[in-house]
Structure 1
Amino acid sequence: MEFYLFNLIRWILNIYYYILIARILMSWVPGMERTPIGGILYRLTEPYLSPFRRIIPPISFGGMGLDLSPIVAFLAYSFLEGGIFTVLRSLFHWVG
C-alpha cells in the first residue's frame, strides 16, 4: 500500500513539474495565456508562482523585464519534493 501511495505522489509531483515548465514556456508566447489551455495552466500554477514573483522583482534587461522568480520556484519545488519523500519514507519506514 505504501509503495502505491509513494508512486502516486511522485506521479502527481512529476506532472505538476511539467505543468510548471509548460506555463513558463507559454509566457514567452504573447497572448498564449488567453487560450483555453493557457487559462488552465495559469490557474494551476499561479498560486505556486505568485509568491515568488512578489519576493523577486523582474530584472530590467534591454528594455524588457526578465522574470527570474521561476528559477527560485523550481529550486524550492525540488526541496519541497525531497522533503515530502523524506517524510513519507520516515512515516512508512520504506526505502526505495
Structure 2
Amino acid sequence: MGINILQLGQYAFDIYYWMIIIAIFGSWFPGFQTSKVGQGIGKLVEPYLGFFRKFIPPLGPIDFSPIIALFVFHYLSSFALEGLNQSLNFLGI
C-alpha cells in the first residue's frame, strides 16, 4: 500500500525539522550560508526562525532562539499530526 496522508504529513514535518537543524549548524560556517544550498534552506526556514529571534534576544554570542524554535516546532507538528489523524478517522479515511 502507498503512503497515506498522515505519513506524508509526518515526512513533510520531518524534512522541515532537519532543514532547521541544517540551517542552525550551517550558521557556524559562513561558506555554507553563501552557498546555493545554504541560501535555499535559509529562505525556507528563516521566516520561522526569525519569528523567535524577535522575542528571544541572544545572550552574548549565543543565540538560544533556534533551540526554542525546535522545541515549539516539535510540539506544533505533533499537535498538527494528531489533529490530522483525528480528522481522518472522523471522515473514515
Superposition TM-score tier, normalisation by shorter sequence = 0.7 to 0.9
Q: What do you get for the CA RMSD once the two structures are aligned? A: 1.4
Matched, 1:84 2:57: no
Structure 2, unpaired ranges of 5+? none
Q: Distance in 2 between matches of 1:16 and 1:86?
A: 18
Normalising to structure 2: TM-score of the pair? 0.88
Larger RCO (CA within 8 A; separation ≥ 6): 2
Unaligned runs of 5+ in 1: none
Is 1:44 the counterpart of 2:74 in the alignment?
no
Once residues 80 and 32 of structure 1 are traced to their aligned partners in structure 2, the CA distance between those partners, rounded to angstroms, is: 28
Runs of 4 or more off by more than 6 Å in structure 1?
A: none
Identity %: 32
1:5 counterpart residue number: 5
Counterpart residue type for residue 23 of structure 2: R
Greater share of helix residues, 1 or 2?
2
Q: In 1, Cα distance between the equivalents of 2:88 and 2:34?
A: 43
TM-score (normalizing by structure 1)? 0.85
1:20 — aligned with what?
A: 20
Higher strand share: 1
Aligned residues: 88
